[in-house]
Amino acid sequence: MRVIVQYIPPETSMDPSGSFSKGSGEIGVELLCVVKAVLKKIKRRVLVGDKVLVGSIDWVDRRGAIENVFQRKTEILDPPVANVDHLLVLFSMDQPKIEPFSLTRFLVEAESTGIPLTLALNKSELVSQEEIKAWKSRLRSWAYEPIFCSVDSKRGLDTLQFIMREQTSVIVGPSGVGKSSLINALRGNKHVLGAVEERNWFDPILGSKWFEEQRVGEVSVRSGRGKHTTRHVSLLPLPDGGYLADTPGFNQPSLIKVTKNSLAHHFPEIRKMLKDSAPAKCAFNNCLHLGEPGCLIKGDWERCSYYLQLLDEIKIREEFQ
Ligand code: GDP
């Protein structure tokens, strides 16, 4: 495997004159890198978004070798991206309408990654203010503050851009809600590049799609393995800083990381109810909130039936594992 690694300088590496006397002297150089055999041996995969150590740099041919992968803050598998800071869960107000159980599955999957999330509802120009108000108060009872947006009318796009600045984000949600349209609307054309210096600390950010495809084509011809067919993901620079994955994530939430004991933690309204009752606690540490003696969670919350449905699904999966 070869990957394109893009240098992102620490702020302090900037020469006050604005020029860079070391390294190749070029701003935002991208290097085509092989992954050293030692990493393959220990099965350290390089993901988009990883921070890596690059050695054996040939500045003229823009090649190098990835020698190490630094510890990841976060990792998601669909799409495979490391160090994601933010998930944008996107649904639409209409075409398709919000299906509350499906929304719950996406939210639980997103919560289970431990990555901060924002809930946004697209196509808001298609519905009335009353409908927006009703969903707002309904989702507040789920402990979410949704952002109502519309790619078509540009409503809310500034807010989303503001939230995503300086972060690496992935948009997740079912098909047809406008994820690709939103990615295109948010990305802008500016390719923000860093500067080069002789420290070999790099962030591998796959470059623009065009650049990536050029390089990948070149590699597959040389390696004789034919055309690269694996699913690609690139991080696109956002105009206000930060990166957005060009491929949306978990179209079908598998909830594979959710266990019967962790499920309740992925419902923020349960977390809130428990917090509000502190210092009182459920009598059992592993309380599943199914009416056990001394349980503080009563069954009078809207998503209780979804919680029970998901709990059944997870219990069955765990029994067969
Ligand atoms: P994805 O499957 O989630 O990536 O959705 P797409 O981006 O492919 O959009 C699905 C359809 O919704 C397309 O026909 C878009 O033009 C349309 N669409 C996207 N955003 C909006 C919006 O804000 N309002 C309306 N009315 N349609 C939109």
Q: What is the pLDDT of residues 283-313, one digit of tens each?
A: 998 999 998 999 999 888 999 999 999 999 9
Would you say the C-alpha torsion 71, 114, 83, 10 has a positive or negative sign? negative
Interval between CA 123 and ligand 1 midpoint (Å): 8
Please give the number of the atom of ligand 1 that sits closest to the Cα of 95.
12
By CB atoms closer than 10 A (0-12, 13-18, 19+), residue 211 is: middle
Please give the number of the atom of ligand 1 that sits closest to the Cα of 182.
7
* Order of strands, sheet of 117-122, starting from the edge strand that comes earlier in the sequence: 147-148, 117-122, 86-92, 168-172, 243-245, 235-237
Helix (H) / strand (E) element for 32: namely: strand 30-35
How would you label 225-237 residue by residue, b for 16+ Cβ within 10 Å and e otherwise? eeebeeeebbbbb
Distance separating alpha carbons of residues 249 and 243, to the nearest angstrom: 15
Interval between CA 200 and ligand 1 midpoint (Å): 42
> ipTM score here?
0.99
Ligand 1 pocket, CB under 6 A: 122-123, 125-126, 150-152, 175-181
Using an 8 Å Cβ cutoff, are 250 and 109 in contact?
yes
Q: Given the structure tokens 């620490």, which residue do they identify?
A: 10
Distance separating alpha carbons of residues 8 and 295, to the nearest angstrom: 50
Model pLDDT, residue 133: 98
Model pLDDT, residue 125: 98
pTM summary value: 0.82
pLDDT in tens, 245-271: 877 887 789 999 999 999 999 999 999
* Displacement of CA 153 from its chain's centroid (Å): 25
Mean pLDDT for all residues in the chain: 79
Mutation to probe ligand 1, out of 121, 148, 151, 250 (largest number of atoms < 8 A from CB):
151
How would you label 245-258 residue by residue, b for 16+ Cβ within 10 Å and e otherwise? bbbbbbeebebeeb
Interval between CA 180 and ligand 1 midpoint (Å): 7
Which of 23-37, 63-77, 123-137, 138-152 has the least mean pLDDT? Answer: 23-37
pLDDT in tens, 67-119: 888 788 899 888 888 889 999 999 999 999 999 999 999 999 999 999 999 99
- Top pLDDT among 28 and 223 is at 28
Interval between CA 152 and ligand 1 midpoint (Å): 8
pLDDT(1) > 80:
no
